[in-house]
């Protein structure tokens, strides 16, 4: 899609320097983790296939097991590439929301509401995911709330700690009363 040209690379976006500039939602972080895991798998399987193929290139006859492994690897690579493309699209959509506060304008048209894009991925999953993340952000902004600062978070944390301490005192005294009642 042409709209992704003004986005940083996925790895750049999720690097520590860049991620401090933007709010990365948990679902978006999970998509990135899946993307990384599948990328590592793809690299590992590619490397294994290259090693097996190099033997053949050097004139060594491959065993049946090695040929079967190459076929299995090719199937896995195809599946991983398809999956990675879908994840990449979803991540870029999330990056666009995080950076610009709105989803990408999709370049393709839905074909009569079949719920799938041209690559066969379920559009509704992506829409639901970004509707949830966008709606929360818009609702918060509509209420005029400021973005949390370190100072405001520390203040909230102190209040929670005091509240927790009071609750612990109450629990301890209630437990003591229960023990006294049981011992009577």
Q: Which pLDDT does position 170 carry in this prediction?
A: 86
Cβ(134)–Cβ(103) below 8 Å: yes
Q: Which pLDDT does position 22 carry in this prediction?
A: 81
- Which of 31, 15, 22 minimizes the C-alpha distance to 126? 31
How far from each other are the two terminal CA atoms of the chain, in whole angstroms? 76
Q: Which pLDDT does position 101 carry in this prediction?
A: 85
Per-10-residue mean pLDDT, the chain, length 184? 72 77 87 95 96 91 94 96 95 89 65 46 49 48 59 81 82 89 89
Distance CA 46, CA 114 (A): 35
Count of residues in the chain: 184
Q: Which pLDDT does position 8 carry in this prediction?
A: 87
- Which of 13, 12, 2, 11 minimizes the C-alpha distance to 98? 13
Distance CA 38, CA 80 (A): 7
Q: Which pLDDT does position 4 carry in this prediction?
A: 65
φ/ψ region of 144 (left if φ > 0, alpha if ψ in -120 to 50, else beta) reads left
Q: Which pLDDT does position 24 carry in this prediction?
A: 85
pTM of the model: 0.53
């Amino acid at each position: 899609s042409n709209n992704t040209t003004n986005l940083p690379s996925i790895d750049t976006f999720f690097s520590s320097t860049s991620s401090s500039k933007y709010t990365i939602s948990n679902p978006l972080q999970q998509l990135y983790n899946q993307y990384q895991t599948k990328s590592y798998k793809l690299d590992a399987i590619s490397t294994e296939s290259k090693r097996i193929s190099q033997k053949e290139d050097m004139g060594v006859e491959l065993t049946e097991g090695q040929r079967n492994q190459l076929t299995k690897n090719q199937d896995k690579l195809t599946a991983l590439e398809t999956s990675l493309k879908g994840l990449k699209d979803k991540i870029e959509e999330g990056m666009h929301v995080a950076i610009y506060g709105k989803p990408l304008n999709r370049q393709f048209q839905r074909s009569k509401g079949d719920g799938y894009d041209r690559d066969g991925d379920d559009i509704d999953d992506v829409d639901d995911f970004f509707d949830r993340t966008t709606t929360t952000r818009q609702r918060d902004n509509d209420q005029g709330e400021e973005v949390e600062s370190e100072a405001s978070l520390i203040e909230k944390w102190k209040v929670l700690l005091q509240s927790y301490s009071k609750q612990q005192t109450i629990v301890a005294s209630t437990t003591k009363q229960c023990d006294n009642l049981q011992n009577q």
